[in-house]
Amino acid sequence: MYENEIYSGDNKADNNGASPYFDYTARPTEELNRESGSTGKKKEKRKKEPGRKPGAFKKIMLSVSMGLCFGLFAGVGFYGVQLATGQLVRTNGSTDVITELPEGIVTYPVDGESEETATRYVTYVQDDVSDMVEEVMPAMVSIVSNYVTTGMNFWGQTYSQQATGSGSGIIVGETDDELLIVTNNHVVEDSTGLQVTFIDESTAEAVIKGTDADMDLAVIAVPITSLSEDTQNAITIAKLGDSDNLKLGEPVVAIGNALGYGQSVTNGIVSALNREMTTEDGSTGTYIQTNAAINHGNSGGALLNINGEVIGINAARIDGSSVEGMGYAIPISSASPIIAELMERQTRTEKIAEDEMGYLGIYMQAVTDEYASLFDMPKGVFVKEVTEGSAAEAAGILKGDIIVKFDGQRITSATDLQQTLQYYKAGENTIVTVKRSVNGEYQAMDLEITLGKRPANK
């Protein structure tokens, strides 16, 4: 019996030039031993121990070392390029201005500077605005407005009930007697009472000092005597900025009493400038558009730049399931002159005795929404007749005019006008705004009037 089988052959020709062959034959063990000189004992072959091939560990360590070296050199190179181009971003501040550049960096004139004095400024912004918010928050307030709503029940009976609305405000000034706060007109319009909440959670009653319905602005006043010393020390006056120099993409922060839950902070960028839109009451204005979340209750709050300056007053938001990230603010550069004028107005908190109350001398009828829509008329008070020798006649008010404002305050009904006159004495001077039909179009006119005294039989 054969104990071994041998396979022999190669792919070379033999000495005789024969083609390669394979010899796969069985041969006796003794013959094999004789040819090999073996004693018949099998040679024991050393078995290789299982494990990694020799040198594998060294190869792994070499690869790791090369990777670390590559990362180190890449990081150093990136740092050097960023430093050389002035684009290195730090992470420990909100805003920095770099005024010194490494040697070899070419600078260019900016805003008329000469080549010798030209300096390149690099501004960068961080997501962390907590320091700025902490600084400006004492100038922000929450506003609760009380008003009366009317409706009709199931049986057709008219009823009225008390309701409340929420809004926001910004502290913009202080006198010896009052703390002055700007907000939106629609936040305080038709209110029967206003409560303001400050940074220290204290509250105080406020009164309307002046409004501008067209710009949707109002200034309300809080008596200094109603504020505790702690509150006076806790609050600050906001710093107004410049909205004329805003750029698309510039970061902004919105602060306000969103949904009436208290002050909250959102951030975003300037999405559009000089965006024209029409509000629910039909007035058209130009706004800053931002993607910072602005919800109900944010109205009257602040839109700030990264330096904590008020660059807009949050005013409107487009609602709808298909619209997101579109909030609007009144540009502060447009609002500032109006705010300044409203702050100068006399605060009227006490009603005048009936026999001393101012008098216009007109017969009037309200222009309701139905009439305004049907006859394409502005909403206000229609002058049916002007009394001869009255203050209205002296001021130039004509039959057919529509009174839309009294002393800057919007007038939409006869009740509005009567309630407003309760705070004005006979002999006072003020401005009445009317809209008069000229060649088929209504034009606004401001007429100065000296209020007369109510006749005894009126």
CA-based torsion, 219, 222, 228, 229: positive or negative: positive
Mean pLDDT of 334-350: 90
More confident residue, 446 or 21: 446
Q: Stretch 361-375: mean pLDDT, rounded?
A: 85
- Give which of 438, 442, 451, 371 is closest to 404, Cα–Cα: 442
Q: Which domains does the chain have, with CATH numbers?
A: 4-36 (no CATH), 58-125 (no CATH), 134-234 (2.40.10.10), 251-333 (2.40.10.10), 354-453 (2.30.42.10)
Give the CA distances from residue 233 to residues 213, 218, 227, 374, in Å, rounded to whole numbers and listed in that order. 33, 25, 10, 55
Q: Which two tokens stand for residue 182?
A: 């700007």
Closest to 240 in 3D by CA, of 142, 139, 327:
139
* CA pair distance 300, 310, nearest whole angstrom: 12
Residue 175: what pLDDT? Answer: 93
From residue 392, alpha-carbon distances to 2, 79, 280, 355 in Å are 139, 76, 31, 19
Helix and strand numbers, DSSP H then E, in the chain: 9, 24
CA–CA separation, 232 vs 159, rounded Å? 42
Quote the tokens at residue 298.
Answer: 């944010």
- pLDDT of 96 reads 44
Contact 180, 171 (CB under 8 A): yes
**Interatomic CA distance for residues 40 and 292, integer angstroms:** 94
The one catalytic residue among 212, 214, 216, 401? 216
Q: Is 299 a catalytic residue?
A: yes
**More confident: 30 or 357:** 357
What confidence tier does 276 reach under pLDDT thresholds 50, 70, 90? confident
- Active-site pick, 94, 166, 186, 214: 186
Q: Return mean pLDDT, the chain.
A: 79
Q: Return d(Cα 292, Cα 269) in angstroms, integer.
A: 7
* pLDDT score at 103: 46
pLDDT band, residue 419 (cuts 50/70/90): confident
* pLDDT score at 82: 57
How high is the pLDDT of residue 114? Answer: 55
Query: Active site includes 38?
Result: no
Q: Where is average pLDDT lowest: 77-81, 102-106, 190-194, 392-396?
A: 102-106
> Phi, psi at residue 11, to the nearest 5°?
-100, 20
pLDDT at 3 over 70: no
Looking at residue 26, what is its pLDDT? 46
Catalytic residue among 299, 334, 401, 416: 299
Residue 186 annotated in active site: yes
Higher pLDDT, 409 or 90: 409
Q: How confident is the model at residue 235 (pLDDT cuts 50, 70, 90)?
A: very high
Q: How many CB atoms lie within 10 A of CB 412?
A: 22
Q: Provide the pLDDT for residue 7.
A: 44
